[in-house]
Chains A and B, each alone.
Chain A
Amino acid sequence: MTTTERIGDRPAPAAPALELRDLSVTFRTEGGNVSAVDRVSLDLAPGEIVGMVGESGCGKSVTAMSIAGLLPDSARITGSIRLQGTELVGARDSVLRRVRGKEIAYIFQEPMSSLNPVLTVGRQIAEVLQVHERMSRRAARARAVELLALVGIPSPATRVDNYPHQLSGGMRQRVMIAMAVACGPKVLVADEPTTALDVTVQAGILQVLRDLRDRLGTSILIITHDLGVIADVADRVVVMYAGRVVERAQVTDLFAHPHHRYTAGLLSASPTPGVHAGTQRLQEIPGLVPVLSSQPDACTFADRCPAADTRCRDAAPPLAAVATATDHLAACWHPCPIPRTQPEEASA
């Protein structure tokens, strides 16, 4: 199976581990409804690492949380989320509980606050095993030690009795990963797993994720605003803006030829060694991600886009295959064919 075969809107040859179809999420708030995610579709093949990237507030975390029904009661979810064929949208709590931690597991951004401060890390890992694998306390603890070793924690037999505050940030995140992979989930959702960590620790964590994918065949959805992380681990990337998927492609393809103006903006806002070595200012995208009460039939990026015209404000561009590759989709009326390594005109 080559990677290109499982991409795009065509039916994939291997059944995807996770399928999102037209997923929309709206929150009821005191100030009215807020549309956070709009008709997002995405497949995650077995063993694939997909990166989801975008600015704060673009809906990437909401998408991630909606998968296992972790959003608050004020969220209204429509569309379809299928985990190996099981529909999760509107599923009963008992179904979701069986899936959570067992079939689909999460790693969150801030490992300090995501771990319970008053329970030992061993206990927190063992808990998952006791619930899903019906292990005894003793067996679960022994397995917890193995899992800590698996994610690269030194002297796991001692660390198992530590409390989160006794560990470093990187070790805490490894504990989160150990907890997440305890039951061998099919899908791992990592929501900004390295954002709170420094760069050297970050590389270690990403290596652990890659290893797990290789060893256990886990599909990983990694959510980040850091393009460096995407370039490092992801096979495929989904760019989100204001609740919509605006571009979807193989990582190498996207970095070489971004089609959506927003993607291009994101890429030129990241430093590239050699190009931005103190000689050139980074490009910023002016403005902020809008907060939408409903999704308009228009391109939501138009107000910040240098190429926007009336067409962009009159009709939402569909997510369609670009001319150069069938597995590269973009939702833009005026895609930019220019490689991003020549942004001199824009900066002049």
Chain B
Amino acid sequence: MARYLITRAWQSALTLLLSTIVVFFGVRALPGDPALALAGEDRSPEALEAIRHHYGLDQPLPLQFAQYVGRMAQGDFGESIRTGIPVSSMLTTALPVTAELAVLAILIAAALGVGAGVLAAVRRGHPAEWLANGLALVGLSVPHFWLGLLAILYLSVATGLFPASGFVPLLDDPVDNLHHLVLPAVILGTGLAAIIMRQTRSAMLDSLSSDYVRTAKAKGLRPRAVITRHALRNSLIVVVTIVGLQLGGLISGAVVTEQIFGLPGFGKMTIDAVFQRDYPVIQAVVLLTATAYILINFLVDLLYSVIDPRIRVTGDPA
């Protein structure tokens, strides 16, 4: 286990370093000049030069990179070129919004997806299966942004059931917080729910026809015990894998969803930063996204061994 953790840590560090390099040089290769964006009315060469000098943008790229990595190692993400606010404080306000949105979306997607998947497998050939399959197809094919717009139009504007935009911090008012986040979380979770549903259904069909399910039936267990304790538990390994792989998609989905619902989260921060060529902010969000992805994958790997005792994490290459 210790060996496994060390191997994993090395791999993660390497991944992070690579993504740092790619994003640092990547954003600078983009057309556009942050100095121009900042200069406003006064676009004289002297003013631009002054801005570039102030932010260190006039130095050679390798030097800029070295300084950036050096500061980062001390936990200093720099400050936004646009607003001058430290990136770390921007992150502390934006991250909880996105984290809450993503966790809610995953919970909703898992509940809907696993529930519908089990139902579709158990009620094979019944209308329930067709309904679940049909909904999954819709969930997969309709883009988030359009679904989001429809939801705002019919569930917020027309009926006033949910607020169309805005955010209330969880600690300020938990109920209002949930009220604001349910709709975006459902929209964000639909695609994932559809994928989970389809994977659960096919994994359940496999395990329902397995020998150990036949054994469970032969023991006289109730259908509920056969389905949950025996068939579903064995199907979950597939579901967890898929969820793990799809979380990257969830992060990019959050960017769009936050934009539509006007949530002051990580995604909105990313988009604003990209449009304004706010290098320090872009660098920080990409690095954090990569870290999140690495962490999630690590958790998924650990979860495997919890679900399936045959899988033991070791440092040995598979």
Contacts and interface: CB of A to CB of B under 8 A. Distances in A.
Interface string A159-176: 000010100000000001
Interface string B205-232: 0000011101111111110010001100
Interface string A209-229: 000000000000000000000
Interface stretch (A100-108, A264-272, A293-301, A327-335): A100-108
A136 interface: no
B310 A68 contact: no
Nearest to A113: B211
B123 interface: no
| Chain B binding surface, main DSSP class | helix
B84 interface: no
B234 interface: yes
A165 B214 CA distance: 19
A118 B307 contact: yes
Interface magnitude class on chain B? 20 to 34
Contacts of B220: 96-102, 128, 131-132
A326 interface: no
A117 B310 contact: yes
B215 A117 contact: no
A285 interface: no
Interface string B274-312: 000000000000000000000000000000000111100
Interface string B61-82: 0000000000000000000000
A96 B310 CA distance: 33
A116 B235 CA distance: 12
B43 interface: no
Interface of A: 68, 70, 96-102, 105-106, 108, 110, 113-119, 127-128, 131-132, 163, 165, 176, 179
Lowest 6 CB-CB distances: which A-B pairs, in order?
A: A101-B220, A100-B220, A101-B219, A113-B211, A116-B212, A106-B218
Given A113-B210, A117-B310, 8 more contacts: A98-B220, A106-B215, A116-B212, A116-B216, A116-B233, A116-B234, A117-B212, A131-B221
24 contacts: A68-B218, A97-B222, A101-B219, A101-B220, A101-B221, A105-B218, A106-B215, A110-B211, A113-B212, A114-B211, A116-B212, A116-B234, A118-B309, A118-B310, A119-B230, A127-B216, A127-B219, A127-B221, A127-B225, A128-B220, A131-B221, A165-B310, A176-B215, A179-B215
